[in-house]
Amino acid sequence: MSQSPKTLSRRTVLRGVGTAIALPWLDAMSPSRLLAATSSDGSPPLRMGFFYVPNGMHMPAWTPGKEGANFDLTPTLEKLADHREDISVLSGLTLDGARAHGDGGGDHARSVAAFLTGAHPRKTNGADIQNGISVDQATAQYVGDRTRFASLELGLEASSQAGNCDSGYSCAYASNMSWRGPTNPMAKETDPRALFDRLFAGQTVKETRRAKSEREKYRKSILDFVAEDAKRLHAHLPIVDRRKLDEYFYAIRDVEKRLDGSEKLGLNEEGVPDYPRPSGVPRELAQHSDLMMDMVALAYQTDSTRILSFMFTNAGSNRAYKEIGVNEGHHELSHHGKSEHKQAEIAKINAFHAERFNCLLGRLKLIREGNGSLLDHCMIVYGSGISDGDRHNHDDLPILLAGKGGGRIQSGRHVRYKNGTPLCNLYLWMMRQMGADAERFGDSQGVLQGLG
């Protein structure tokens, strides 16, 4: 970092051995230099994201009864009450590619494979997988070269590339929603420590390994490696930018502390010491999710990427959520057969996922950027490719759009579309807002209307 604030570029980073920390949006950044990295008027860049939850929803606890700005916060949406004005609930959208179309069972695998592609995946558990390119990767082809990472693929459960996971469908379909091409699923990063290192690594493998080894040996913060650069910059910034930088450094250090804490030796239920998890993945799902959400916020804040996808769990996940008192498997509960008990348990899981997503929205809302917040410059889809898990239907999906899209989205509403409206209509609209010159995507019939 050798530039003065008067010539500070959006691409400026603080450097140290094996470390390169990108800066958040600062007022001191020259508008003329920002033009190449942001929109044509120098405003903050637009980000897109896609967050997937498995096994559908308990729809009575999701869908508002009222449309428009006065929509009611249902039990699941109540978990997002802090951000009521920042979300748009979109009803009636449909994922035709996830339907059987003569292929029989496998709705869970199809729901993930089709969620971002709009394609109908070939039914196979062999090497001859065939899907479509996903909206995140299609958009990255247009704007991915503007950031360090064209896109990020994240989740809480690891991806698989082979095996039979759902009624003859390959595990590649069930555990990957991002596809670079028809035969190229993009594996997810699930380790928050590994993701942190990717975001703040140096320019060479040798430097990165050296810095990581020294940090672990002396328990240093990654910020210690850029202290001199940071001190020089801080001294010349206006007070507003100093505050922004201090908040940003605090967020980085907070994530580091929590990463370290998640790897410490603990006691199991029998009081016997557990060994540290070698992968760096926390044992508790909430802790794992919240760390990953903080990393998502840092990735957006530093403009390391503008496009990412996130899977809470893989398709058909039968994970039990004991930390919230749900001891039965999620997939088994989703086949509720109208059981009131099972539906109540599904609603608890849905609320848990919504709470985790709410953590991300809160983090993005607190980050000031331009004349608003980072969340104001986002378009983040949250939902599932299955509506009711018992019916395995793929129409009237539970879809939520978070953020104001840089002023392009009139949020804080429930918008009901004609049932059967392609979900890909939304994706085509989002692609065009990102600057992708696409005439159609998936099974789109045009851009989705009524968002602005």
- Which distant-in-sequence residues (6+ apart) come within 8 Å of 406 by Cβ? 39, 43, 44, 46, 376, 377, 433
Neighbours of 138 (CB within 10 A): 22
Q: What is the percentage of the chain residues whose pLDDT exceeds 70?
A: 84
Q: Which band of pLDDT confidence, cut at 50, 70 and 90, is reported for residue 270?
A: very low
Q: Which of 4-18, 154-168, 273-287, 332-346 has the lowest average pLDDT?
A: 4-18
CB contact at 8 A, 12 and 23: yes
Phi/psi at 132 (nearest 5 deg)?
-135, 170
Q: Which residues pair with 372 in a beta bridge?
A: 369
Residue 267, pLDDT score: 41
Query: β-pairing, 307-311 with 152-155?
Result: parallel
Mean per-residue pLDDT, 273-284: 57
Q: Which of 72-76, 193-197, 394-398, 429-433 has the lowest average pLDDT?
A: 193-197
Mean per-residue pLDDT, 177-193: 95
Residue 216, pLDDT score: 53
Domains and CATH numbers, the chain: 1-43+204-277 (no CATH), 47-190+281-452 (3.40.720.10)
What is the amino acid identity at position 62? W
Query: β-pairing, 13-16 with 19-22?
Result: antiparallel
Phi/psi at 13 (nearest 5 deg)?
-130, 155
Residue 277, pLDDT score: 39
In whole angstroms, what is the distance from residue 117 CA to residue 309 CA? 12
Residue 214, pLDDT score: 53
Instruction: Quote the tokens at residue 31.
Output: 């508008």
Angle made by CA atoms 82, 84, 86, in degrees to the nearest 5: 100
Would the pLDDT of 3 be above 60? no
- Which distant-in-sequence residues (6+ apart) come within 8 Å of 252 by Cβ? 21, 200, 221, 222, 223, 298
Mind listing the pLDDT tens digit for each residue in 193-236?
889 888 886 544 444 555 555 555 445 677 777 777 778 887 77
Residue 273, pLDDT score: 40
What is the amino acid identity at position 420? G
Q: Which of 58-62, 232-236, 433-437 has the lowest average pLDDT?
A: 232-236
Residue 198, pLDDT score: 86
Compute the mean pLDDT over every residue in the chain, rounded to the nearest whole number: 87
More confident residue, 207 or 45: 45
In whole angstroms, what is the distance from residue 113 CA to residue 174 CA? 7
Mind listing the pLDDT tens digit for each residue in 134-157?
999 999 999 999 998 999 999 999
Neighbours of 370 (CB within 10 A): 16
Residue 38, pLDDT score: 47
Residue 8, pLDDT score: 59
Closest to 175 (Cα-Cα) out of 96, 104, 109, 97: 109
- What is the C-alpha end-to-end distance of the chain, expressed in Å? 40
More confident residue, 249 or 133: 133
| DSSP strands (E only) in 99-157 | 152-155
Closest to 148 (Cα-Cα) out of 225, 203, 188, 212: 203
Residue 107, pLDDT score: 97
Mean per-residue pLDDT, 90-95: 98
Residue 262, pLDDT score: 61
Residue 217, pLDDT score: 46
pTM of the model: 0.84
Mind listing the pLDDT tens digit for each residue in 305-335?
999 999 999 999 999 999 999 999 999 999 9
Would the pLDDT of 2 be above 70? no
Mind listing the pLDDT tens digit for each residue in 163-175?
899 999 999 999 9
Residue 81 buriedness (CB in 10 A; 0-12 / 13-18 / 19+): exposed
Would the pLDDT of 30 be above 50? no
Would the pLDDT of 97 be above 90? yes
Whether the CA torsion 257, 262, 266, 269 is positive or negative: it is: positive
